[in-house]
Chain A
Amino acid sequence: MNTSIFTHSKLNLVLLLLALVAPFVLYPVFLMKVLCFALFACAFNLLLGFAGLLSFGHAVFLGTGGYVTGYLMINTGITPELGILAGTVAAGLIGALYGKLAVRREGIYFAMVTLALAQLAFFFYLQAPFTGGEDGLQGVPRGHLFGVIDLSDNLQMYFFVLAIFLFGFWLIQRTVHSPFGQVLKAIRENEPRAISLGYNVNDYKWVAFIISAALAGLAGSTKTLVFQLASLTDVHWHMSGEVVLMTLVGGMGTLFGPLVGAAAIVTIQNYLSGGELGNYIHIIMGAIFVICVLAFRNGIVGQFRKVLKQNF
């Protein structure tokens, strides 16, 4: 156990250094996109990887965060940190509502319930007057952080996004390693046993759902500031599928998997949409899904870990 914590903190340090140097080597907007999706996938993985709950409607939390932040930034002129906070809280509240309903069913039904609830929200956002319908909310101002730091500068924005990501990632790590996280894992492994040990399983799932939803909202709020846009794409079921794919590719149930998976998928998408293969993007995403499920269920990080364990 000691060694694994040691290597984790070492890995953390290496990644942090990379993240600090990266914007001077790579395009900052691309990196910010990766970080937003990484946070989104990490939040999703808290449910799937550590509580065994497959939500097929997580786009609604990403999108809600985005819409709330976007609307407030355009119409009230509040500072970006407050805008993001509002988006996160809104997503958490919807998460509390949806989670309460969804935890009443298990397994495959849970996935269907979350997908259906997300579609309900999609139609709501499609018709609601404040979302801009098909056009979405465009030209969202990034504003000045704490009223001081100008975020329209991409490099300053990048470090703000990095700070948000690190906060979210830290919170998830803390949650997973806390007694609460241990109970979640117990529920994942053997739910009847967790019940017989006296845990109120549904309450644990519910709280995990709220944390996951709020962090997905945080990712969505941040993404809206980065791209200065909140649109229906973020609440569409395609987006819910994408975050499942990122987590699957990276390795579900691992802390770093969703980060790696998000980086991989965003890179592939950026590469494809630039070239001739842009038309094939959904076919390729579907194929990656099929291949991962058939032959690569551990994901990149899971596979790496397995090889490491076998050889050392």
Chain B
Amino acid sequence: MKINKKGDKLLSIYWFAILVIVATGVVIMVNVYYGSPYDVRQVESGILANHVANCIYFGGEVNPSLISSNGIFKEDFRDHFMNYCTLNFSVEGEFTQIPYYLEINFFKGIDSPTSVFNISEGNQNLKSDCGVDVQDKSKLSKCTSNSFFMKLNSNDVYFVKILAVVSKVNENTN
């Protein structure tokens, strides 16, 4: 009888040890899986491009602050683009670089190769990350390039090209 009791105790210790091992394993698995961040930069740059597109051309109407009635682009829109489009690229910290870059080019006509007006905001150094052909692009900024045609009241058609770049490498990668 004595021997049996000892065996039971030993078995209880064994089961407890197994329980601890399995629980530790589950904790490690959950931590490993959910500990790594989601890279949302591509989506973020897409949302930024959409926002700018809506700011320029919404519901078939060009933003009246962008072009005057006689088809001349307003410098004031370029100078206060961030305010007009309710954007804010300011970052905390004195030496922190802006993790965004925006570039908008306007081409008169449907097939014109030269830009007649352009707006750029943010950190211009990020632009060089776009179009870089390397295998591991996780440490590069994410770029979204979109374009659309807009029509003025005067029936003039403009081709608008938007480039949105989001850096934020540290926040989105391991």
The yes or no verdict on A and B being binding partners is no
